Amino acid sequence: MSQRIAVVGSGIAGLAAAWWLSQRHEVTLYEAERRFGGHTHTHAVTLGDRLYAVDSGFIVFNPLHYPLLSALFDELGVATRPTTMSFSVHSERSGVEYNATSLNRLFCQRRNLVSPRFLGMVADLVRFYRQAPALLDTSGPGPTLGAYLAEGRYGEAFRDEHLIPMASALWSSPPRAVLDFPARHLVAFLANHQMLDLGARAPWRVVDGGSARYVEALRRRWRVRERIACPVESVTREHDGVTLRSRADTARYDQVVLACHADQALAVLDDADDTERAVLGALRYQDNDAVLHTDARLLRGGARPGPPGTRTCRAIRMHHARSATA
């Protein structure tokens, strides 16, 4: 029997829920912002006479670890293409610079071939990727990353010039904060993204023309009632359905899907019980500032993007770029 269903939030979680549910049910999708997509956010940037589609949130995926997303793209006929993902570090403090994709690039500063500190970092790196997967066989939260590195006597160079920059880049987190994260979470993340095997990396892909293309493809094809720039203010569960109050109106539904972040879900739940408050309230978030720019000096390190009018093409504060910190 067809039901009336409200979906709150239009990131990939809400879009996918609305897409599949709408094939059998009557779905209304609420989005607080003025655009659909959430972390799927493509910016159109013109440089000279070329237009670039720059993704600032969701960028890459691979078919092996994203089977459902890949199936959705196939179903929608969304074109994707291969891309590369690599990791480079430039340390302003030590002057060390390397890229982790080949031996030649690892030793792009040839002096590092005879640097005990750098060679120690490489040895630690090989040891970490060999030993750390054992954490996946343990139960419970286990040691924090900082404690795990100290216990394993990993060197400062490996910690400060490899693991911290990598973990903080992966999770959009302040560098020192990642040392307080459970080490097992990092290792699980690396395992899920095939990043523990130094030789074989996952074949990453991007959506041709920017990730927003799949949002457009969904919206062209679906039968979903869209409520854009329409934040949901409260959700009250009753024995025979749900009352949802939004900026626009109050409506009744049979079901509601909260496809927003844990703190946002808790904020709208009128009648959250103790378990919901404990689980959803346990996650803390931070806003991250991001600058989209064309200042090539930053690639060499040391410089900050200049004020508007210099070569910084656009500065955006991405309110949506939030990351969980605990």
Ligand X SMILES: Cc1cc2nc3c(=O)[nH]c(=O)nc-3n(C[C@H](O)[C@H](O)[C@H](O)COP(=O)(O)OP(=O)(O)OC[C@H]3O[C@@H](n4cnc5c(N)ncnc54)[C@H](O)[C@@H]3O)c2cc1C
Q: Which residues bind ligand X (CB under 6 A)?
A: 8-14, 30-33, 38-40, 57-61, 172, 231-232, 259-260, 264, 268, 320-321
State the nearest-atom distance from the C-beta of 110 to ligand X, in Å: 33
* Residue number with CB closer to ligand X (57 or 165): 57
Which one, 38 or 210, has the nearer CB to ligand X?
38
User: Toward ligand X, which CB reaches closer, 28 or 40?
Assistant: 40
Distances (CA, A) of 313 to 292, 294, 300: 7, 6, 18
What is the closest distance, in whole angstroms, from the C-beta atom of residue 307 to ligand X in the complex? 24
Rounded Cα distance between 44 and 206, Å, is 16
CB of 1 to ligand X, least distance (A): 27
Q: Output 151 or 208, the one with its CB closest to ligand X.
A: 208
Residue tagged 């779905």 (tokens): 27
CB atoms inside a 10 Å sphere around CB 151: 10
Q: 């480079």: which residue's tokens?
A: 88
Residue number, 122 or 215, with CB nearest to ligand X: 215
Cβ closer to ligand X: 14 or 210? 14
DSSP assignment of 12-59: HHHHHHHHHHTTTSEEEEE-SSSSS-TT--EEEEEETTEEEEEESS--
Least separation in angstroms between residue 207's CB and ligand X is 11
For residue 166, give the 3-state DSSP assignment: helix
Report, in Å, the least distance between residue 241 CB and ligand X: 19
Both tokens of residue 225? 């009632």
Q: How far apart are CA 242 and CA 232, in angstroms?
A: 13
Q: Which residues contact 208 (CB under 8 A, 6 or more apart)?
A: 78, 79, 80, 81
Give me the count of residues in the chain. 326
Q: For residues 54 and 46, is the Cβ–Cβ distance under 8 A?
A: no
CB closer to ligand X out of 62 and 128: 62
Give min distance, CB of 216 to ligand X, in A. 16
Q: How far is the CB of 210 from ligand X (least distance, A)?
A: 12
CB of 16 to ligand X, least distance (A): 8
Distance CA(212)–CA(55), nearest Å, equals 8
Q: Are 121 and 158 in contact (CB under 8 A)?
A: yes
Q: Which is nearer to ligand X, 138 or 192 (CB)?
A: 192
**Rounded to the nearest 10 degrees, how much is the dihedral formed by the CA atoms of 206, 209, 214, 218?**
-160
State how far the Cα of 32 lies from the Cα of 270, in Å rounded to an integer. Answer: 18
Please state the closest distance from residue 128 (CB atom) to ligand X, in A. 23
Return the structure tokens found at 241: 């359905």
Nearer to ligand X, 125 or 168 (CB): 168
Q: What is the bridge-based pairing of β-strands 88-90 and 224-227?
A: unpaired
